[in-house]
Amino acid sequence: MILETLLVTAPDWAVRHSTVLIPIVPLVVAPVLAMSPSGRLAWLVSIATTAASLYFALLTLAIVQSTTGGVISYHIGNWAPPIGIEFRVDSLNAMILLIVTLMGFLASIFSWPTIVAEISKEKAGLFLCAFLLCFAGLCGVATTGDAFNLFVFLEISSLSTYVLVAMGAGRDRRALPAAFDYLIMGTLGASFYVVGVGFLYAATGTLNMADIAAQLPALGANRSVQVGFAFIIVGLGLKAAMWPLHQWLPNAYAYSPSFVTMFLAATATKVALYALIRWMFTIFQPEFAFEQALFTWVLAPLGMAAMVICSFQAVFQTDIRRMLAYSSVAQVGYMILGISLGTAAGVSAGLLHLFNHALMKGALFMAVAGICLNVQGTTLRDFAGLGRSAPFTMTAFAIAGLSLIGVPLTAGFISKLQLGYALFEQGWWWAVLLVVFSSFLAVFYVGRVLQAVFFQPPANPSKLRKEAPLLLLVPLWTLALANLYFGIDASFPAGLARDGAVAALGLEAFQ
């Protein structure tokens, strides 16, 4: 309903150009910020920019939902595809765009206190410039309909991410090797993706995703198509932190500035997963024999391994950010498992979990960021007794943590339930047991933190501890309440996920 009002009130130019403006506005503002003399001004501008992107993303969603067929196609420079670059948004991207822009907006609001605390004020302009570039790149990946353009946007976001991660060096020098490892792995992932696109270009002679999809069935079991597909899956899997390819993630999340961790955890892997879904379902159809084999024998086992093994690893971490990072890899495992079913229910469960995971990990890392401001250190012992001295921050943390476990009445419960239904439908009851087991492990690692926070006395009472600033509490509680709200009335995200799955699989999958 809000979306309809938005559509009615929007000016004509905004309706016509909303798709292209989502990534372009931050891309244009970023160099201006690089020259901005005042950090605070840069911060205000970055909020306005992400807010504009959020507006255009909502508008795009409204347009997609109101048009029949639900596809917006925008031709850059008015060159018709497949020759020109096409920005193509359907229900699947519209959902991802909403997540990215919403998280970017909330992140930019609370960035100021953490920048002051962790990075010098003089560098704030450049830091926010890198943030906006990263944001623009992620939005770009989610809007573009051109395979090579996707690589360019992916690299824009990745390169600025390496810089952002390395900015954590002011607090802990281990951020530098972490950023370097991420650079090596991330670049290899993107390069694999390009090699794959090259093979597909050799086979089809086009780079437009819709056009590739149209040409592939005629090629049949073509060797170079299969090789290209393998390269693309590995490359994007690296970016999405699919289980054995996740080695860069824990360190990068643990040592980067807390603001960056929050933003990356909520968006970066999600966007890579979106690209994976786009390639697996829209471009290569699941009817291809080799793709069925991949789903059953590669993706599903990897997803399950991630769920169990990384949850185990999370249980044994003493640093809370590392623990949450391992848990992120485990959650990616749930999404991969849902996707690997290849059914409408599975994909929609995976997408729903993607949406909810952005909400809960965003809230968790934001709460940790708030604690970082005052307590130097993020180990379990630093968190002991915080429930009394910072009740608002820690209550939000607890809500998001419960959502991560999947307690009823939280968003996490709904998506795990959906995943369970989808697995049962396929007859994989043993996979349901694994999901339950992995959630049980989540009870352990989240429970450890909550027990320390609420039921233990502070380990070192002489340390200063207080509530996070209001600027941080507002976005934090927005996310925490969203976790509760979508746990009770999940119609909005579930509708988005269902539409997304329809867009990915085609309408007939639901009949």
Partner 1 sequence: MWTFILEHAGYWAIIALMMISLYIAFSAENLIKRLVGLSLFQTTICLFYVTLGKITGGTAPVLLPADMPKHAVDHGAAGAAVDGHLVAGGGERVADVVHVYSNPLPHVLMLTAIVVGVATLSVGLALIVRIREAYGSIEADDVRAIDIETALAQEAKLESDLKEATA
Partner 2 sequence: MKGDHHMILRVIAKCLIPLIVIYAFYVQFHGEVGPGGAFQAGVIIAVALILYALVFGLTATMRAVPPWFTRSLAAVGVMIYAGVGFWALLSGGDYLEYQALFGEPPGEHHGQHAGIIIIEIGVLCAVSGAMTTIFYALAGRVAEIRDEDW
Binding interface with partner 1 (CB under 8 A):
79, 83, 148, 151-152, 155, 159, 162-163, 166, 169, 173-174, 176-177, 179-180, 183-184, 187-188, 190-191, 194-195, 198, 201-202, 207, 379, 381, 459-462
Q: By three-state DSSP, how is residue 208 classified?
A: strand
Window of 3-11, 22-30, 469-477, 488-496 that interacts with partner 2 by CB under 8 A: 22-30
Q: CB nearer to partner 1: give 89 or 159.
A: 159
Q: Identify the residue among 77, 220, 427, 461 touching partner 2 (CB under 8 A).
A: 77
User: Using CB under 8 A, which residues numbered 266 to 285 contact partner 2?
Assistant: none
Cα 350 to chain centroid distance, Å, stands at 12
* Inter-residue contact 192 to 238 (CB < 8 Å): yes
Should residue 452 be labelled a site residue for partner 2 when binding is judged by CB under 8 A?
no
Q: Identify the residue among 40, 75, 171, 465 touching partner 2 (CB under 8 A).
A: 75
Helix pair angle (391-405, 411-426), 10° resolution: 10
Should residue 17 be labelled a site residue for partner 2 when binding is judged by CB under 8 A?
yes
User: Using CB under 8 A, which residues numbered 23 to 52 contact partner 2?
Assistant: 24, 27-28, 30-32, 34-35
Q: CB nearer to partner 2: give 13 or 430.
A: 13
Tokens 């007939």 found at:
508
State which amino acid sits at residue 122. Answer: E
Q: Which two tokens stand for residue 304?
A: 């399950």
162 binds, among partner 2, partner 1, none (CB under 5 to 8 A by kind): partner 1
17 binds, among partner 1, partner 2, none (CB under 5 to 8 A by kind): partner 2
Q: Identify the residue among 43, 74, 383, 486 touching partner 2 (CB under 8 A).
A: 74
Q: By three-state DSSP, how is residue 218 classified?
A: helix
Should residue 78 be labelled a site residue for partner 2 when binding is judged by CB under 8 A?
yes
Determine the length of the chain: 511
* Inter-residue contact 303 to 343 (CB < 8 Å): no
Q: CB nearer to partner 1: give 87 or 281.
A: 87
75 binds, among partner 2, partner 1, none (CB under 5 to 8 A by kind): partner 2
305 binds, among partner 1, partner 2, none (CB under 5 to 8 A by kind): none
- The full 3-state SS of 259-325, as one line of letters, equals HHHHHHHHHHHHHHHHHHHHHHHHHCCCCCHHHHHHHHHHHHHHHHHHHHHHHHHHHCCCEHHHHHH
Q: Could you write out the DSSP letters of every residue in 47-101?
A: HHHHHHHHHHHHHHHHHHHHSSS--EEEEGGGPPTTTS-EEEE-HHHHHHHHHHH
Instruction: Kindly list the residues in this chain that would bind partner 2 in the complex (CB under 8 A).
Output: 13, 17, 20, 24, 27-28, 30-32, 34-35, 74-78
